[in-house]
Chain A
Amino acid sequence: MLRVTNLKAAYGKIEALHGISFHVEKGEIVTLIGSNGAGKSTTLKALMRLSPPESPTVTGGDITFDGVSILGMPAHRVVSDIRMTLAPEGRRIFGNLTVMENLQLASWSRKGEDIGKEIDRIFELFPRLAERARQRSDTLSGGEQQMLAVGRALMTKCSVLLLDEPSMGLAPLIMYDMFRTLKKLNAEGLTIIVVEQNAHLALKVADRGYVLDTGEIIAEGPAEELLHRPEIKAAYLGG
């Protein structure tokens, strides 16, 4: 469904991805793991077609969705037409808006549709958000902010969800809760691409994984298999 071929991306003159290829099929959970600076976030930003300077410029290769290149598409069209969105690193929720407003805003591309049901559904997934619906979202705790970041992404009615470090800064219990919820959403048909530093956790929930190192894919395979490969264990899973 989503296919990346020989993708090269750069920030200015500095190349961050040196030609990576991978694919994601409908209904899968795919994880990209790797250490700091490997190019994981860069890959997600390139997929979303976000614009420089915060995001890289694609200098080679192609990204196709159902066989059609999306390289010429601006980010907001990737969200509204391809139905793919990103819950970015650091959550990036709109702190000056209430929880409810954050959710409403994300339904922008479906102007005029009744979104009451969808909001109820988000509150069902994350009951903590319902309690805080009228609160300014910068008053939320880190875990609640991550819930809002995912809830907000779901409000775009995405069929592909990219997640950048969803476990960052979360207490272990909340982190497991979050991944359980993602697994549940996946069972309902959501395709998920998740970037994680916590490789162990990511490989546990994912179907397949890719290991990135300094802008190149150095290993790939079913998650279960990667989890048991000695060299991956040594480098990314702490022995």
Chain B
Amino acid sequence: MEFFLQQCVNALQWGSFYALIALGYTLVYGVLRLINFAHGDVFMVGAYLAFFVSTSLLAPDGMFGFSREVVLVLTIPLTMILTSMVGVTLERIAYRPLMRKGAHRLYVVITALMCGLILENGNLALLGASRRTLPELLDKTVYHIGGIAVTNLKLWVVFTAVLVFFALYFIVTRTRIGMAMRAVSWDRFALPLMGIPLEQVVVFTFALGSAIAGLGGLLFAMSYPVLEPYMGAMTGWKAFIAAVVGGIGDIRGAFVGGFLLAFVEVMVAAFLPSTFRDLFAFSILLIILWQRPTGIFGKPLTTKI
């Protein structure tokens, strides 16, 4: 029982990472009907940006004499802002010109895949293959509840994911820009007729999704402080699958899908040989999609004339 609960805690942490990345996939898909396959690598870039921001702020001989707490508090917004700029840049130089020319969505998706590879290999070429370690920004405290060990970092990760979800849900359902985002997902053509600049809504969507990925990257780097250029590839793929299982385009789906995938993975690894993890996890997800091809929260699209 204790072992099971301990695994649940681990699953919650992994689920938080998947959910934070999946939210970005689903936001961009929901608004543009574009699967932004570079998003997993934006998460990786976020982790690296967190590394550079925090190390330069911490530099002992530097001009800043910040304590680690202050560095952490500064690293969070700086990482999010810088990562969102990466996402917006991708949109501006890679996707927007294609969309303007009326290219079929397939070409934009392939472009996204290429952008991901460029980010991975660009990183490899610029920074080399050596792994980097994020400095410790948070003193580790371990709480023991019954027989279960929970670190303060794990609690923060899960709390952040939940907070981000509710904030995002609020933005999409209650604010003007959220209303515009939902409107674009239904009909891009009619949006300018309301006096709304379409590109502004698209940029906001990319900025938001990338900022969340950056936050995910920072938390991931704090939890598993080994950074390498390909860290976003597999995690990104899995988060994408989580978003699809949840029902891509629906932010509740991305959130639930992220945790679902993590639970399946962690439990398979805990009770079966760990080499079975991905095989079983993805087989289970395949069965879910087989039963509900539109995902848990997804609805088949119908249009009324």
Contact = CB atoms under 8 A, between A and B. Distances in A.
Contact of B102 (A53, A95, A97): A53
Contacts of B185: 96
Interface string B188-203: 0111111111100000
Contacts of A90: 305
B190 A85 contact: no
Residue among A51, A94, A95, A97 with most chain B CB within 10 A: A94
Contacts of A94: 182-183, 186-187, 190
Contacts of A106: 194-195
A32 to B, nearest CB: 18
B215 to A, nearest CB: 28
B155 interface: no
A76 interface: yes
Interface in B97-112: 100, 102
Contacts of B179: 97, 101, 104-105
Contacts of B304: 95, 138
B186 A96 contact: yes
Nearest to A81: B195
Given A52-B102, A53-B102, A90-B305, A97 B195 contact: no
Nearest to B197: A76
Interface residues of B, number: 23
B131 interface: no
Interface string A51-86: 111100000000000000000001110011000011
Given A76-B191, A96-B183, A104-B176, 14 more contacts: A53-B102, A76-B197, A76-B198, A79-B193, A85-B193, A92-B190, A92-B193, A93-B190, A94-B190, A95-B303, A105-B180, A105-B194, A108-B176, A108-B195
Contact of A54 (B182, B189, B197, B198): B189
Contacts of B183: 94, 96-97, 105
Nearest to A86: B193
A166 B286 CA distance: 46
B193 A48 contact: yes
Interface residues of A, number: 33
B117 to A, nearest CB: 28
Contacts of A48: 192-193
Contacts of B195: 76, 79-80, 85, 106, 108-109, 156
A137 to B, nearest CB: 10
B162 to A, nearest CB: 25
Nearest to B198: A76
Interface in A151-194: 152-153, 156, 169
21 contacts: A48-B193, A51-B100, A53-B102, A74-B192, A74-B197, A80-B195, A85-B195, A88-B193, A92-B193, A94-B183, A95-B186, A95-B187, A96-B182, A96-B183, A97-B186, A105-B180, A105-B183, A105-B196, A106-B194, A108-B176, A153-B193
Nearest to B192: A75
